[in-house]
């Protein structure tokens, strides 16, 4: 009986010490507060520069693009293609297809064009969980066009203008 109580106390002590240790270690890990994305406010009279800036904010925030893509001209083992200079690349990627259509189709139908050496896996960003609306996607395209090119989209750009209807 005495032996059984001693074993029980040792097990209880081990549980308390282990729990305290993991609690302490857990408090040492930096915590990151994740807030819901802010609502994107778009005005009908936005300039191209403002549209590009909102596109950058969406890429860094709600669009979650930097989770998988880089924008610094990196080579090597990347999860998805680096998008530095994508505007120039988009113009020549598919014969007979313009850069705007290529970018739009790559966003709305991400598994249609898979860059050699990469696997499919980009989510459709106009559906949950990301859920960018058409105006927000136009802003993202404006930013992407600014990477090695000149943005041609405006908030008046339609899906038909992008070759999607």
Q: What is the pLDDT of residues 42-98, one digit of tens each?
A: 888 899 999 999 999 999 989 989 889 999 888 777 889 999 999 999 999 999 999
pTM assigned to the model: 0.77
Domain 48-146 has CATH 3.90.245.10: no
Alpha carbons 39 and 49: distance in angstroms, whole number: 19
Among candidate residues 146, 149, 34, 30, the one with its CA nearest the CA of residue 92: 149
């Amino acid at each position: 009986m005495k032996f059984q109580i001693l074993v029980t106390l040792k097990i209880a002590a081990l549980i308390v010490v282990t729990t305290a240790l993991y609690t302490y270690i857990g408090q040492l890990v930096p915590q990151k507060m994740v807030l819901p994305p802010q609502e994107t406010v778009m005005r009908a009279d936005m300039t191209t520069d403002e549209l590009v800036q909102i596109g950058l904010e969406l890429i860094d925030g709600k669009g979650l693009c930097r989770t998988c893509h880089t924008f610094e001209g990196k080579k090597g083992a990347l999860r998805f293609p680096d998008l530095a200079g994508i505007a120039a690349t988009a113009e020549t990627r598919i014969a007979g297809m313009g850069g705007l259509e290529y970018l739009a189709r790559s966003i709305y139908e991400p598994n249609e064009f898979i860059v050699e050496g990469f696997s499919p896996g980009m989510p459709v960003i106009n559906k949950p969980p990301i859920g960018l609306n058409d105006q927000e996607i136009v802003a993202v395209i404006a930013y992407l066009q600014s990477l090695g090119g000149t943005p041609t989209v405006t908030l008046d750009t339609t899906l038909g203008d992008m070759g999607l209807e």
